[in-house]
Amino acid sequence: MCYRTAILGCEITLEAPAAPESIAVAEAVLGTIEAFFATSLNERIVPFRPIGKIIVEPACDLHQGLCITDENIDGHAFVRVQHPSTTPGSTADARLEFRDGLMSLLTTFMLHIAVVENVDCYMSRIAGEERGFSRALLFSEVSLAQGNVFGPSPKVLLRDCEPPSGSKRFPLIRSSEWNTGLSITQLPLPDGNDEQRDPRNAYAYSASQAANEKHSDRKIASQIDIPLWDRAGWRAPYFTTLTRE
> pLDDT, tens digit, for every residue of 40-96?
887 888 888 888 999 999 999 888 889 999 988 887 889 999 999 887 777 888 888
**pLDDT score, position 233:** 82
Does the model's pTM come out above 0.75? no
pLDDT exceeds cutoff 70 at 211: no
Q: Are 152 and 38 in contact (CB under 8 A)?
A: no
> How many whole angstroms separate alpha carbon 52 and alpha carbon 12?
5
The pLDDT-based confidence of 3 (bands split at 50, 70, 90) is very high
pLDDT in tens, 123-172: 888 877 777 788 888 777 777 777 778 777 777 777 777 777 888 888 88
Count the alpha carbons within 13 Å of 115 in the hemisphere toward its beta carbon: 9
- Domain limits of the chain? 2-160
For residue 244, what are the CA distances in angstroms to 79, 238, 239, 240, 241? 50, 21, 17, 14, 10
Q: Are 52 and 76 in contact (CB under 8 A)?
A: no
pLDDT exceeds cutoff 70 at 245: no
